[in-house]
A and B are shown apart, each in its own frame.
Chain A
């Protein structure tokens, strides 16, 4: 509070933020907000797991053997002996038919009739194996079959010397490709979160207008403080949400172990990247949230809000695409445009953090984005006071003529 007893803008914003935060966190809709993103992830993971299992059991290629018993046994033993050294390069073997001496066998007919669960069949003897199957399959298995047959004949290597392993980072091209992947994933996550929360702040304000409390707020504190309070309350709510989602992901990751795919390390390192991610998320949300608040404050009905927020969402999508495109073309006019335009700047800069280790551009970008947020809030608050808070015949006429009429400057 100031010396004269007046609440400062920040203190007033805190009153609004505290109320909004408590109201949202304690509401039932917040539970759905928290659970919302988990459903697609869980369902996707569950469905993916089932699919993988089905695929693994149904279409794992198997090589069939149709030989005399001793030859077939020798081939199976040879495969087992080689497996620890060769690994996945060897196909699984299954005996589709044990032949008597001199018995004829037609592998084409067996494969065509799908009588055996095999993708190809090896016949003959270990000394003269014959491989029948599709051109692709026999091409892949020609070498392994030859190796197994040699082992079955006792002509395999006598010893396998141990190999000393020395892991190293991927080469430059692979590293760059990986960082682009990290950047893309981060951008997408940022965009989805931002749009989800901006929509929530918009509906919060519309609800406020429905409650008719907005005039009480506007009479007591500056509208800038109302806007700031609402934005920061939702930001705090989003941090709670992110903490819950991150916790859930952490538990999932621990349970899944190495099964979860990992992204290549970003250029600035994971710790700084995560910090920048939080900062850019805050900026992206505050920018779009301030824009949505401005729209929401001017609209008198939910329908008006939807009418105007839809094109804004599309424009935001365009900015996201520009930022996505820019990450594949660093240093070009596209990247600079994406960085300069406030609504795409957080996305472009986060992508940059994944690909470029320099830190100072982020300080400058965050300052620029902060400035734009301040301007947007100020413009929004002014428009609100100028266009919304009016009464009497003029106000009624305007309401009938809709929002676009109100956006036209008043004649002096």
Chain B
């Protein structure tokens, strides 16, 4: 059944269908509507979860860590400052191999404080051992939540999953979505069976102290789990497609990439804008394409290398930056192409920080720029006259 609803509501509906035992979150714009809808569902008896209001995001992450360790399916959602505050717990959850699923609503990070969309927050935790899936639209956001639990809880993986969706752009936008049929979700997502959990019936010790003699092996095991998860992500997407009739998962998506000279690489809602520009430019005879990275961690190096093998020029367009260096997604893309001979030129573009609008003309300007030559790092649409003023003061 198709319905028009706010992105946050679509996510709440998806979470409800997954029947988590425990939900804990702390309010922060623009994640608020997701947890408010969930609280409402619990209050009305529609959703039979324990809803734990906490004193901070750090508390929320710790509460879901405890719940997962006790063997429950859990959920949280946060953004920006909240995600940064949870930082310590995120690494802890991943290291303990607990299949927690959260929604990371993408928002700019402070300072200066800014509540609008960019991807700096989730990018900043890319090393934590969390699987990161980026949603292009509200349907994606819904579907990825359901797939996230399947991926996380798979004993070949046992890593937490972060479903990233652009704040306001997706969370507060009303779009038509195909609702999830509960029977199909139940068929697709069986109850969580933990590998280990806390119970007096079979006591175990979690969160142990590992010395130099074995710590490295535990971290390597996480690396291996990440590598195995790539195949699981694709498997799960295929099964989802079989049951629900649409393919909204996987590692990457290629949009007119096969014969493209110029390929734009991006993640999240920006991809929809880029696809529109690709269509328009193709009509003008330019051979351009769009490579969407859906799973940023594990980084699908092999798939990306293969997809970009025929391109002459690649423009990586992202809403984040690694200050003092280049841009993170571009760095990963360049790195996976480095060993290929005769590969494309890769240019890196930073757009939309702090929710700055990204009009189709900006995408066009990016295509124009890469067609004239390679550039290392370009911030698009800067108010350069303001910046000159600042320097001369």
A binds B: no
